[in-house]
A and B are shown apart, each in its own frame.
Chain A
Amino acid sequence: MSAALETHGLGKRYGSQWALRDCTLEIPRGSVTALVGPNGAGKTTLLRMAVGLTRPSEGSVRVLGLDPRADAAETLPRVGFLAQEHPLYGAFTVAEMLHVGRSLNPGWDDESARARIAELGLPLKKKVRSLSGGQRAQVALTLALAKRPEVLFLDEPVASLDPLARREFMQTVAEAVAEHELTVVLSSHILADLERVCDHLVILAVGRTQLAGSIDEIVATHRLLTGPRDSAEDVARVHEVVRESHAERQTTLLVRANGHVYDARWTVHELDLEEIVLAYLGQDAARRREAVVS
């Protein structure tokens, strides 16, 4: 079975600027994947290419084995997308927004959409523009879910929401995942929003994939090593060094380990996910500084 999302050497250039470059990754079906990276890392561009809004400049993108741009008619009914600004027609009532979903989607699940709106306590006759930001996000999410997509892409879904609305929004996502066999890819520049619901992680930085995999595997393989500076090269031969920092006496290495670290000269610490992500993003910042200098 083809992956939910698969990209090979995917890149997008606007003018002379690359928004995303050389992105190769595979997101399995049934996963809930956090797409993490700093602002400008290309998260939005990647998601827009996945739903066919944007055409790749190079490389390929496949969603459920289909080209989202060339096979739009087949792909669109099977994917859901929530843009960052949660675009809705402000002059429409909530009921009319549901009508929009019904008239544009053959697989529309009206019953669940109405049930969800009722659960949220939103009056159907209320105009969308008079709703709060959190309510609008929920209406937009309801629309995306009632389409009954196989893969749901959410671009910075909670960035504009207050903490309570964030929690409620992510709660709805988690319920939908539990209820249906839904693959979710959601981007954020803040990991804490996603950690509880996600089982996969993709880190995008400098417009490239830095790390992709299941969160359990990522946490299991990343280790912080402290030891003598002169043996750092021995470590690097076996394990992938993500980040290193040197003090006078000792060196600290953050590694993606290939199996156990046996070298007795090194002290091994476990890391939590946030520390790992920060290490990758910190490396990104370091590379950017290099790029500016060179």
Chain B
Amino acid sequence: MTWLGWRLQRTETIVALGIVALLSALLVPTGINMWDAYNHGGLGACLGANPGFSCGNRIGNFRAQFQSLSDLANWFTLVPGVIGVLLAAPFVADLENGTYRLAWTQSITRGRWVFTKLGLSLLAALLAGGALTLLFDWWRGPTAHLDGRLDTGIYDSTGTVMLGYTLFALGLAIALGVLWRRSAASLVVAFIGYFATRILVDYKLREHLVSPLTATWKGAQQPAFLNDARILSLRATIHGHEVLSGGGGGFIGGTGKVGAAPGLKNAIFHAVYQPNSHYWPLQLTETALFAGVALLLIAFAAWRVLRTD
């Protein structure tokens, strides 16, 4: 059964690994350039010595050199979705083509068929997702130091979350495929569902995964501990009257300043924020959430297929 399972998903696995290889071909040279500029251009040393805002020129140069790459990289957040959905295709195709009836009337039980096939697709997704995670985490290193690793684009492609995203796309596509038994439609809708879920988590759910902290200070000078934090909301009051209120989503990196306006000198600022130290708790919670939902979806698919009539 292992031979058949592998043979049936060989093409998709090779394509998935091909996508990873293609990305590596693009990212490894540029990553080497970025790390080189960061380490030997003095930027790393400057940021290390001054966690404040005093590396302006060097940051400007670095950004000028690599900004277009960084912008492009935001699209890479779709890659786990593509790979996950792709690796679900062989399982759904077997149901759509009726070839499962061939397999289920050989000498092996359908239980073994289901577990081998799902296990192999899960394994392929873990491999491809793991490779993506390592590649992007390394590549994002310099920009993470610059913009802070809680910046949405950077957070989404560093740490462990990409592995969770890949598994989630796989689970969603398999579950939809089991319900629908139509490959093309299931895979497309699963990808759309993946994208919608990611947006929802990025902009709504993530800030609640780990309880944010609050800070209050006087005057326009932002406290140093907020330099690499992610500000979820910010208010300023003067004698109890609100003079400024900002919504969530704003990130204040090492180069930013809160309320630089001179009129706010005597204002009291209230901030709700995720400190840099919440990065790993956030990453691990989100990864566990996506991976957990993926496993539930796959378990549902297995249950549903096992009791197929």
Chain A positions within 8 Å of B, measured between CB atoms, are 14, 51-55, 72-73, 76-77, 79-81, 83, 85, 87-92, 96, 99-101, 103-107, 140, 143, 147
Q: Which of A54, A88, A103, A107 contacts B102 (CB 8 A)?
A: A88
**Contact (Cβ within 8 A) A55 B105:** no
**Contact (Cβ within 8 A) B99 A77:** no
Binds A, one of B107-115, B139-147, B168-176, B194-202: B107-115
| Complex-state Cα separation, A99 to B6, whole angstroms | 13
Give every chain B residue within 8 A of A101 (Cβ-Cβ). Answer: 106
B280 on interface, CB distance cutoff 8 Å: no
B97 on interface, CB distance cutoff 8 Å: yes
Number of contacting residues on B, CB 8 A? 21
**Contact (Cβ within 8 A) A83 B101:** yes
Q: Which of A53, A91, A100 contacts B4 (CB 8 A)?
A: A100
- Taking the closest CB of chain A, its distance from the CB of B127, in whole angstroms, is 22
**Contact (Cβ within 8 A) B110 A87:** no
Question: Can you sample 22 A-B contacts with CB below 8 Å?
Answer: A14-B309, A51-B105, A53-B101, A53-B105, A55-B307, A55-B309, A76-B108, A81-B101, A81-B105, A83-B101, A83-B102, A83-B105, A87-B102, A89-B99, A89-B102, A101-B106, A103-B3, A104-B4, A104-B103, A104-B107, A105-B107, A107-B107
**Contact (Cβ within 8 A) A53 B107:** no
Give every chain B residue within 8 A of A107 (Cβ-Cβ). Answer: 107
**Contact (Cβ within 8 A) B105 A80:** yes
Across the interface, name the chain A residue whose C-beta is closest to B104: A53
**Contact (Cβ within 8 A) B8 A89:** yes
Across the interface, name the chain B residue whose C-beta is closest to A89: B99
Interface string of B88-123 (1 = CB under 8 A from A): 000000000111011111111110000000000000
**Contact (Cβ within 8 A) A87 B98:** yes
| Complex-state Cα separation, A99 to B99, whole angstroms | 15
| Complex-state Cα separation, A79 to B106, whole angstroms | 8
Across the interface, name the chain A residue whose C-beta is closest to B308: A53
B7 on interface, CB distance cutoff 8 Å: yes
Chain B interface secondary structure, helix, strand, loop or mixed?
Answer: helix
**Contact (Cβ within 8 A) A87 B107:** no
| Complex-state Cα separation, A90 to B3, whole angstroms | 17
B1 on interface, CB distance cutoff 8 Å: yes
Total contacts A to B, CB within 8 angstroms? 64
Most buried by B among A92, A100, A101, A106: A100
Across the interface, name the chain A residue whose C-beta is closest to B113: A104
| Complex-state Cα separation, A81 to B102, whole angstroms | 8
- Taking the closest CB of chain A, its distance from the CB of B261, in whole angstroms, is 66
Give every chain A residue within 8 A of B4 (Cβ-Cβ). Answer: 100, 103-104
Give every chain A residue within 8 A of B101 (Cβ-Cβ). Answer: 53, 81, 83, 87
Across the interface, name the chain A residue whose C-beta is closest to B10: A91
- Taking the closest CB of chain A, its distance from the CB of B156, in whole angstroms, is 35
Decide: A105 near B106, CB < 8 A? Known: A99-B3, A100-B4.
Answer: yes
Most buried by B among A52, A53, A54, A77: A53
**Contact (Cβ within 8 A) B105 A76:** yes
| Complex-state Cα separation, A101 to B107, whole angstroms | 9
Most buried by A among B102, B109, B110: B102
**Contact (Cβ within 8 A) B109 A87:** no
| Complex-state Cα separation, A73 to B110, whole angstroms | 9
**Contact (Cβ within 8 A) B109 A92:** no
- Taking the closest CB of chain B, its distance from the CB of A90, in whole angstroms, is 8
List 11 additional contacts besides A53-B309, A55-B309; criterion CB under 8 Å: A14-B309, A52-B104, A55-B307, A76-B109, A79-B105, A83-B102, A87-B97, A90-B97, A104-B103, A104-B108, A143-B102
**Contact (Cβ within 8 A) B7 A76:** no
**Contact (Cβ within 8 A) B109 A88:** no
Which residues of chain B in 2-23 are interfacial with respect to chain A, using CB atoms and an 8 Å cutoff? 3-4, 7-8, 11
| Complex-state Cα separation, A81 to B103, whole angstroms | 10
